[in-house]
Structure 1
């Protein structure tokens, strides 16, 4: 799952502009622009993702999308985000509640895999989705920093990491 937003502060006034959810097979379950309730412009965010106020003027509201979003999450075994804390902060409380027990963070998993220790933060260094997607061999069909493209890239990173973990578990087994 991925979102695009009016800014960086979910829960503190910024809003969703775009939302995409893909399944493990890469099928698009939800891919939609979202009309913000309060914001009429977002120049800093627009420079990053390219979503303009005109793009969302006739988009559905987040409230109208809730039944589809909740149903998709209900049916999912897990919901993988690249920076789960960020994306979850922009989702309304019912979605946060339903997704919280299923939320997995590909960014944290990739950081562990990359193993670059940041002594200042006392944790592994976070890498951008572009870096992780490149490492995983992802082929971009669309522009990065759009929800569908980023959700598909996150899927690639997650599957790549999952396959690497399975391989490393098998490789550590004694050989006959």
Structure 2
């Protein structure tokens, strides 16, 4: 029995039972190839939209066996694995069921897409975007390349996530604090940055991650500091102790307290918040002090947090309602509009502008979406030149024929807005 069977399909489209498998690949936990086969569809002779994504042309599968002929072999491989893993595994499960392999009868491991989303605040990302986050480069939409990338991500995200992976791969280190020597664990800088991103303790670029400030009971004023390590998260209450270095001294601070000290790193004005209270040394703070730190963080530090900004932005969009008295002839009237990425025009302002024209502002892309306004994306999340999860979904809906979503960059959006306003 193999420990893992990592699975990926390339298909003629997105609809199980209607679309067919063009390629199937499976690797085990070592990366050894258990299956990599191209398949000839029995009902489709062309799949132009899917071909643009996966690059598989009809001539590439001419003479190949139909997927139905491979089902017994695939079922044997998957049934013999302790865990079956796929990226966005709902897609593979649906196609397995459609071909008569009951997905519920298999032992599924954690979906790396879901694991990453859970550790990054709920935002789902494409396989290529998450791989880029970890510095893993590959050619997406080849089933074999995709399963290898999925295995790489699974090793870093499943069963406790990045922190557990980091703990296994960290090196012990010592620093000098006002209380004497302190022990912590270190990682290579790129891995430390990913760990902190995953835990929500730092911004999304290496440059910003260095713009941290320490203010504790041992310093009279805020000092620039660098995150140099961490201590294990407590199993009881789930918090992390981060080691920061300032002026040659090492300080250990808990995660909530660190958030309070990050105003400059999160784009706040001036020096970091001067927060009275307890800086954490080698001893454990306990539940009461952590609760106090968290309370002060909400009161004094959250206003400068990027996550507070996200919360305010989301709340602002929820309060936007379409104007029923708008001119129905304008291009936004009655349309569903979704925003993604960063724009020069504040998102709340853009949302209010289209709502006044009769548009319905939505937070997620669906087949009912009419416009997706796409601002600049963070390469640290989507990769250089990559697309956000909303853009990926819009493109997939369009390619499958389930959606007719017009994707606008900010310039195109502003032009359409000016047209709708008669300017």
Measured against the shorter chain, the TM-score band is 0.7 to 0.9
**Normalized against structure 2, the TM-score is what?**
0.37
**Normalized against structure 1, the TM-score is what?**
0.84
The one of 123, 140, 147 aligned to 1:144: 140
Aligned to 2:126: 128
Paired residue total: 164
Do the aligned residues in 2 keep the contact of 1:84 with 1:103 (CA within 8 Å)? no
SS in 2 for 1:71: helix
The one of 138, 148, 156 aligned to 1:160: 156
- Structure 2 distance, partners of 1:88, 1:127, is 19
Do the aligned residues in 2 keep the contact of 1:5 with 1:18 (CA within 8 Å)? yes
- Structure 2 distance, partners of 1:95, 1:27, is 25
| Equivalent runs, 1:53-64 vs 2, <5 Å | 53-64=58-69
Bigger radius of gyration, 1 or 2?
Answer: 2
Q: Which runs of 4+ in 1 moved over 3 A?
A: 167-170, 173-176
Whether 1:7 aligns to 2:68 is no
Structure 1 residue 168: Cα displacement: 6.9
- Structure 1 distance, partners of 2:57, 2:165, is 43
CA change 1:166–1:47 in 2 (3 A) is: same
Aligned to 2:48: 43
Structure 1 residue 97: Cα displacement: 4.2
Whether 1:109 aligns to 2:170 is no
From the two aligned structures, give the one with the greater helix fraction: 1
CA change 1:111–1:34 in 2 (3 A) is: same
Over residues 89-110 of structure 1, what are the superposed CA-to-partner deviations in whole Å (9 max), with x where a residue is unaligned? Answer: 12222253433x4253211111
CA change 1:31–1:52 in 2 (3 A) is: same
Unaligned regions of 5+ residues in structure 1, if any?
116-123
Aligned to 1:93: 100
- Structure 1 distance, partners of 2:141, 2:102, is 22
CA change 1:63–1:97 in 2 (3 A) is: farther
Structure 1 residue 34: Cα displacement: 1.2
CA change 1:165–1:37 in 2 (3 A) is: farther
- Structure 2 distance, partners of 1:95, 1:151, is 21
Do the aligned residues in 2 keep the contact of 1:6 with 1:15 (CA within 8 Å)? yes
- Structure 2 distance, partners of 1:167, 1:154, is 16
- Structure 1 distance, partners of 2:50, 2:111, is 22
Whether 1:75 aligns to 2:71 is no
**Once superposed, what is the RMSD of the aligned Cα atoms?**
2.2
Aligned to 1:121: none
Do the aligned residues in 1 keep the contact of 2:131 with 2:149 (CA within 8 Å)? yes
Structure 1 residue 137: Cα displacement: 2.7
From the two aligned structures, give the one with the greater strand fraction: 2
Aligned to 1:172: 233
Structure 1 residue 114: Cα displacement: 1.7
Do the aligned residues in 2 keep the contact of 1:69 with 1:95 (CA within 8 Å)? no
